[in-house]
Amino acid sequence: MAAHMRWGLQRLLRARNSAQIRVPDKPITLYHTQCTAQSLRRLKSGTETTYCTIRNLSIQTQDTPNPRSLKFLPGKPVLGSGTLDFPSPSSAESSSLARTLFEIEGVKSVFFGPDFITVTKEDEDMDWTDIKRHALEAITNFFESGDPVTTTTAVHGESTLSEDDDDIVSLIKELLDTRIRPTVQEDGGDVIFKGFEAGTVKLKLVGSCTGCPSSTVTLKNGIQNMMQFYIPEVENVEQVEDEVDEINAKVFEELERKLQK
């Protein structure tokens, strides 16, 4: 039975053209336009003709399942491929855009995708109005500057297959990359493979998935059920954090306690 399921999964996953693509439930809700230089308008003043330039850069925003996270779509590539997580200001050394977004009051974390930017605020009760306005301005100014989005190559791309991977791990990685991660990225986040041991798949949730009220449901009812359907050897899926993330979280919690006092 297990061998038959693996064979069926391999055929399904390699038929990339027939893979299902989920359409976002919520429509794009906001358009931001700023005048810059692209199209020409001719103005006549007496006998003199003056040309002034105007460019329209539209940035769309989209809600995510996490009420603390908002997805910004600049209409052009951000990373092009892969994702990059900035969970704190100290992690943003490689990106001037991320550093600028962290300067906005209320921003807790920043996340880059192939063609989107996810901004997460510190508190669900905080109003989005000012954060959104400043983020739109920062993103617009950045893309006008022509600066690189990041100076690092350490992005979360497709899961790297290793010679040490057995058939089960290879199938897990391929299922993640072809069916699960694209759907999660539509919601402004990502899922990173961290290991498989004793029937348990270990995953790290980043972007809008971090701290999302529905992340547990996504992990168990979505990802775990899909993996168990195609790969019977998978008994459980659990969320894990890198050691450095755990240390940063503890430092942040300690800082919050001191500020509250």
**Pairing mode, if any, of strands 189-197 and 200-207?**
antiparallel
How many CB atoms sit inside 10 A of residue 162's CB? 10
**pLDDT of 148:** 94
- Kindly tell me the burial class for residue 211, based on how many C-beta atoms sit within 10 Å of its own C-beta (0-12, 13-18, 19 or more): middle
In whole angstroms, what separates CA 179 from the centre of its chain? 16
Percent of the chain with pLDDT over 70: 70
**Segment 177-181 mean pLDDT:** 92
Q: Which CATH architecture has domain 30-145?
A: 2-Layer Sandwich (3.30)
Neighbours of 9 (CB within 10 A): 18
Mean pLDDT of 164-192: 91
pLDDT value of position 242: 67
Give the residue-averaged pLDDT of 213-232. 85
pLDDT, residue 35, reads: 34
What residues does each domain of the chain span?
2-19+156-244, 30-145
Other beta carbons within 10 Å of 216: 11
Six-digit token string for 110 = 């920043």
Give pLDDT tens digits for 79-138: 999 999 999 999 999 999 999 999 999 999 999 999 999 999 998 889 999 999 999 999
Nearest to 124 by CA among 101, 136, 108, 140: 108
* Number of neighbours of residue 12 by Cβ within 10 angstroms: 15
* pLDDT bracket for residue 61 (50, 70, 90): very high
Alpha carbons 105 and 88: distance in angstroms, whole number: 13
Spatial neighbors of 118 by CB under 8 A, at least 6 apart, are: 64, 69, 70, 71, 72, 110, 111, 112, 188, 189, 207, 208
Pick from 105-119, 151-165, 238-252: least confident: 238-252
Q: Check if 2-19+156-244 and 30-145 are the same fold.
A: no
Domain 2-19+156-244, classified CATH 3.30.300.130, yes or no = yes
Q: For residue 259, give the H/E element and its range.
A: helix 243-260
DSSP helix/strand/coil, 234: coil
What pLDDT score does 33 carry?
Answer: 38
pLDDT in tens, 49-58: 434 334 456 8
Higher pLDDT, 183 or 26: 183
- Residue 227 pLDDT: 93
Q: Residue 85 has what DSSP assignment? A: E
The mean per-residue pLDDT over the stretch 11-15 comes to: 51
pLDDT at residue 10 in the model: 56
Residue length of the chain? 261
